[in-house]
Structure 1
Amino acid sequence: MASRGRHGGVLAREDEPRREEREEQQAPAPHGPVLPPPPPVDYGVFMQGLVQAMQTQAHTQAALQAQLEAQICLDGAYERCTTGKS
């Protein structure tokens, strides 16, 4: 019995490209303008900015926490704000 392809069909001839190869070759052309590649990234500058943003966030969070605790004390919940402090 003759060998068959994956789907039980007749084998493709050797000079005929496979379906997967034909699909890759027939990929649609991109629509719209072709954009230039993005500029190279300076990761040192990127990391410095990231560290600065994280430090700013930590500082802001600490300031907001202190402001919240002060507001709780002003609102009359004095017992809560003095508990655990020496």
Structure 2
Amino acid sequence: MASRGRRGGAPAREDERRRDERAEQQAPAPQGPVLPPPPPVDYGVFMHGLVQAMQTQAHTQAALQAQLEAQICLDGACERCTARKS
């Protein structure tokens, strides 16, 4: 047998060509215009914005928590407020 160690008897080049053809058939066709790559990211600016966003979130959360506690006290459901009224 001329193709020792290979099943099917197909030469190596023919197998490679078939594999390449299958890969081309399976690749999805691009849809719409091809866009240029995005600009490089300045990670210093990115991190600064991220820290600012996290600080803003923390301040907003603290303000909402204080507002909620004040509303609970106005409703008379807060233990501190009910103790003061007695």
SS of residue paired to 1:56:
helix
Other structure's SS at 2:37 match: coil
Shift of 1:22: 2.4
Query: Which ranges in structure 2 are unaligned for 5 or more consecutive residues?
Result: none
Give the distance between the partners of 1:20 and 1:81, measured in 2 at CA: 77
More helix per residue: 2
Percent of aligned pairs with the same residue? 75
Measured on the aligned residues, the alpha-carbon RMSD in Å equals 2.6
Query: What is the identity, as a one-letter code, of the residue corresponding to 2:9?
Result: L
CA contact (8 A) 1:4 1:11 kept: yes
The CA deviation string for residues 1-53 of structure 1, in whole angstroms up to 9 with x for no partner, is: 86552xxxx13213314332322345454232111111111111000000000
The match for 1:11 among 4, 9, 27 is: 9
* Higher mean C-alpha displacement, 16-25 vs 39-48: 16-25
Contact 1:73 1:81 (C-alpha < 8 Å) held by counterparts: yes
Which residue does the alignment assign to 1:62?
62
Length-normalised TM-score, structure 2: 0.70
Deviates more, 1:70-79 or 1:22-31: 22-31
Task: Quickly say closer, same or farther: Cα 1:4–1:75, change in 2 above 3 A.
Answer: same
Task: Compute the TM-score of the two structures, normalised by the length of structure 1.
Answer: 0.70
| Aligned equivalent of 2:43 | 43
